[in-house]
Amino acid sequence: MPFNLFGGLKVLDLGQGISGPFCAKLFADLGAQVVKVEPPAGDSSRQDGPFPGDAPDPERSGLFLALNTNKLGVTLNLESASGRGLLVQLAQGADMLIESFPPAYLPSLGLDYAAFRAANSRLVVTSITPFGQTGPWANWQASNLILSNLAGHSREHPGPVDDLAKQPPLQLAARQAEFVAGLAGATASVLALNRRRLTGLGSHVDVSGMEALALLPQTTLAEFSLGKPPKGRHKDVAGRQSLLALLPCRDGFVGLSPRQQDQWERCVEMMGSPEWASDPKFATRESRLAHWDELEPRLAAWTGGQNKEDVYRLAQGHRIPSFPLNTAADLFESAQFRAREFFVEVGHPAAGPLRYPGWPIQLGSGQKLELTPAPLLGQDNAAVLGAKGLGLTQDQLVSLRTLNVI
């Protein structure tokens, strides 16, 4: 039995890129019927890699494939009146519509929230944009880098920096700002859905990617609200504060954190009680912090000849917090991820069988994640718009295709 938390829920996904489609995927994978509505040219993420063999192909974008599992796919040209009419008809039968266009775009087509509400008062309309629907920056443009900067992440949430002039503030890797916006969008959407049980009405859900990201550095926000000055960027603040070292190994790096006194004592024992470890400089947590510059190279010398997985197993065996710095390759081999069936193989007609990241949950009901492949462009036009869907005839479908509506 597949995940069925959203069985019976009908969702329209007008999202493009990452945030909207990721939001809709969270509903699709948990059992909602999600119809992805693409422009005839396709979702922009079809142009983004990775691609098999690095050969661009809109049906084989790894990003698109991963973000659009468990969805039906139709094409609709919203620039045409017929296309807009079909969208409104679909919205009449839906519970939720998710979109991520610039705030002025849908209203310019006559498709503002009031139009959707008039068609279906129970519809939840979720708009996910970098800055939200209102305010002086609503129509500004942003990307992961821009949001990493503006939300304070690149400056207030840094890792170690050796040279402030040569190492600029750092964006989040792997476009995480856009995934966080999508996650916040899904959370807000299900809250609006749950509010509908009280009001009988849908709502317009306005999600700001910048705000979603700005909420993450919670310690910084709390300290500033208490009147502490901003920390700014410094050399290796993160590691020093928590006695967390990222140490080189033969095959990569391992994180090791003997932060409590008993953990430190077991760490010394694990390393074979070397003479240097009895130096009073390393006797207490405070003194170890004060002499971190001397301590870290000694730990590195011990890990340097070993494999990261071996250090991790040995340290955890001594109840010392430690994890290897895993890469994608390591995770596909991880016994832990395998035991929980985290990666799921999906067969796709164009991209073939590939393993995708799955969900981080196991349900007591025994329901399992099942992933059907992302739709080919316009794959479900006939099913969704035709006799069994909106009721268009074969002739009408052909004519809409000729007119470039679908």
The residues in 22-51 that bind other proteins, with binding defined as CB under 8 A, are: 26, 30, 48-51
Contact between 327 and other proteins by CB under 8 A: the answer reads yes
Which residues, 6+ apart, have CB-to-CB distance to 284 below 8 Å? Answer: 261
CA 43 – CA 41 distance, rounded (Å): 7
CB burial of residue 129 (10 Å; 0-12, 13-18, 19+):
buried
Nearer to other proteins, 83 or 130 (CB): 130
The angle formed by the CA atoms of residues 67, 73 and 76, to the nearest 5 degrees, is: 115
Contact between 159 and other proteins by CB under 8 A: the answer reads yes
In which element (H, E) is residue 68 found? Answer: none
Nearer to other proteins, 154 or 303 (CB): 154
Q: x/- binding map, residues 288-317, to other proteins, per CB under 8 A?
A: ----------------------------x-
Question: How many residues lie near other proteins (CB under 8 A)?
Answer: 151
DSSP lists the bridge partners of residue 344 as 356
Least gap, CB of 161 to other proteins (angstroms):
9
8 A C-beta contact, residue 73 and residue 380 = yes
8 A C-beta contact, residue 75 and residue 375 = no
Nearer to other proteins, 108 or 242 (CB): 242
Site for other proteins (CB under 8 A): which residue of 108, 273, 362, 404? 362
Least gap, CB of 394 to other proteins (angstroms):
36
Q: State how beta strands 204-208 and 124-129 pair.
A: parallel
Site for other proteins (CB under 8 A): which residue of 80, 82, 89, 187? 187
Contact between 280 and other proteins by CB under 8 A: the answer reads no
Contact between 59 and other proteins by CB under 8 A: the answer reads no
Within 92-151, the residues that bind other proteins by CB under 8 A are 131-138, 140-143, 145-151
Q: x/- binding map, residues 197-216, to other proteins, per CB under 8 A?
A: xxx---xxxxxxxxxx-xxx
Q: Count CB-CB contacts under 10 A for residue 151.
A: 26
CA 258 – CA 242 distance, rounded (Å): 9
Nearer to other proteins, 220 or 379 (CB): 220
In which element (H, E) is residue 144 found? Answer: helix 144-150
CA 199 – CA 195 distance, rounded (Å): 7
Site for other proteins (CB under 8 A): which residue of 5, 109, 376, 383? 5
Nearer to other proteins, 85 or 352 (CB): 352
**Token code pair at residue 386:** 């035709």
Contact between 335 and other proteins by CB under 8 A: the answer reads yes
Stretch that binds other proteins, among 71-79, 100-108, 223-231, 268-276 (CB under 8 A): 223-231
Which residues, 6+ apart, have CB-to-CB distance to 203 below 8 Å? Answer: 124, 125, 192, 195, 196
